[in-house]
A and B are shown apart, each in its own frame.
Chain A
Amino acid sequence: MEEDERESESERRSAPSQTSDQQTTTETSRQKLETDEDDIETKLDISSDRFDPLLALYSPQVPLPYPNIKCFNNIAEYESFMKGGRGRAKPENVEKRLRKAQKGKADPERIERLKRLMVNNPVEEEGEGSGVKRPPRQRKAAKNVLTRMPLHTGSPLGELNRCVQEKIRVKVHIRTFKGLRGVCSGFVVAFDKFWNLAMVDVDETYREPLLGQALYHEKALTVTRLFEKLKVQETVALSAVENQKSELHSSSSHLTHQTRRTDPKHTQERSEHSEKDKTTLKVTQKIATKPKVEYGRVHTRHVNQLFIRGENILLVNIQQE
């Protein structure tokens, strides 16, 4: 009798997963055939009291109460699993594994969280944020390049800060790979620990670098020599112009203007450096004996705002008032 039932079952079986609810609905539809099916269903239903285990073992499709359950191949496996072997499916582990599997997929909850963090209107956000933050937690003092400037009191950088605050004109000596390149005279607006300087109203006087043998033979350039050279250049140019007497009245007056401008600077330089241990040079003699400057010309230019990288600075000299 059971075999007959099994055969008829395998013919008539359609939907595999039928819960007890579905069983009741199928029962109500067809009357005569229902009794048989109904019988079989209840026999295969684990929770019913007419469960037939032999039938369940041999039937092709048994409705499982928990379809997503872990399957074991034998009871020994189940036993070792329950004893807590390696990789035992504790609830935390199961969740972790599931989360790892879903790592790539976009988690809508996470997206929502991130969206809420997004700044739509920066002013708004800051207003709200600062209002909330200030009562519970005192903000640590902001440390940035501007706040660090006054921190160097007592050190040379502190002196530089004084020049910034009191707007003292300074002279910055710029270096070439070996020796002095030139001098930048201006006001320092900002600086940092690397001696990078932001300067305004800069007058730069510099000499073109010498190349090769000339550099080897030339005496080291000093500030004194630099300005003397400038003066020499200009007097040489001036004399060249004065030799041509044709239409140069306007330009010669322009040039004498220039030399007059450098003169006070030059005498100032000389008075400054006469105290140093460099030899004091007599200008008139030097001009007579110096050759015409063709290489390593000295140039002057004015830059309104200049940034100097600290690596190139030799020294900073305060121009006393």
Chain B
Amino acid sequence: MDVSHSIRERTIAENSLVILLQGLHGQVTTVDLRDESTARGSVINVDAFMNIRLEKVLYRDRRGRVSSMDDLFITGRNVRYVHIPDSMNIIETIETQLAKIHRVRNFGASGGRKEYSKKK
């Protein structure tokens, strides 16, 4: 549930819908891949490039064969769909994640080193 340590990843996530996926940390979801295979497991981490790490995964490949995995890493480009759990409100999740980034950004900026110059 930790915000990424990289400023670059934070800004990429902040300005795209990846931040919605980052709010899924710990939830059990299904990821449909580009090659028609599906992976169902709990999300460990999603980074700014939509690379997803899943845990305790039930992986169904495009032939339909099912296998079980402890840990699965999916490259961002191979994602087609991510099923959002019904219990999650999309706008609220996005706003919570944005608030986290906001808090991290203002942490150091108030008394010390600024992340980036606020002058245009």
**Which A residues are in CB contact (< 8 Å) with B95?**
146
Q: Are B110 and A129 in contact (CB under 8 A)?
A: yes
**Which A residues are in CB contact (< 8 Å) with B90?**
189-190, 198, 200, 305
Closest chain B residue to A129 by CB distance? B110
Closest chain A residue to B87 by CB distance? A305
Q: Mark A165-193, 1 if CB is under 8 A from B, else 0.
A: 00000000010000000000000011111
Cβ of A81 within 8 Å of any chain B Cβ, yes or no, is: no
Cβ of A194 within 8 Å of any chain B Cβ, yes or no, is: yes
**A residues whose Cβ falls under 8 Å from a Cβ of B:** 116-117, 119, 122, 126, 129, 133, 140, 142-146, 148, 174, 189-194, 196-198, 200, 208-209, 303-309, 311-312
**Which B residues are in CB contact (< 8 Å) with A140?**
118
Cβ of B26 within 8 Å of any chain A Cβ, yes or no, is: no
Closest chain A residue to B111 by CB distance? A117
Q: Are A308 and B110 in contact (CB under 8 A)?
A: no
Q: Are A192 and B110 in contact (CB under 8 A)?
A: no
Cβ of B94 within 8 Å of any chain A Cβ, yes or no, is: yes
Q: How large is the interface on B (under 10, 10 to 19, 20 to 34, 35 or more residues)?
A: 35 or more
The 5 A-B residue pairs with the shortest CB-CB distance in the complex, in nearest-first order:
A305-B84, A196-B17, A307-B82, A192-B16, A192-B17
Flag the segment in B1-9, B53-61, B65-73, B101-109 that touches A: B101-109
Q: In whole angstroms, how far apart are the Cα atoms of A143 and B19 in the complex?
A: 14
Q: Are A190 and B16 in contact (CB under 8 A)?
A: no
Minimum distance in angstroms from B77 CB to a CB of chain A: 7
Q: Are A208 and B36 in contact (CB under 8 A)?
A: yes
Q: Are A308 and B81 in contact (CB under 8 A)?
A: yes
Q: Are B19 and A145 in contact (CB under 8 A)?
A: yes
Q: Are A117 and B108 in contact (CB under 8 A)?
A: yes
Q: In whole angstroms, how far apart are the Cα atoms of A209 and B62 in the complex?
A: 10
Q: Could you list some 24 contacts between A and B, CB below 8 A?
A: A116-B111, A117-B108, A117-B111, A122-B103, A126-B103, A142-B102, A145-B14, A145-B16, A145-B94, A145-B98, A146-B95, A148-B15, A190-B94, A192-B15, A192-B16, A304-B84, A305-B83, A305-B85, A305-B86, A306-B82, A306-B83, A307-B83, A308-B81, A309-B79
Which of A145, A148, A189, A311 has the most CB atoms of chain B within a 10 A radius of its CB? A145
Closest chain B residue to A146 by CB distance? B94
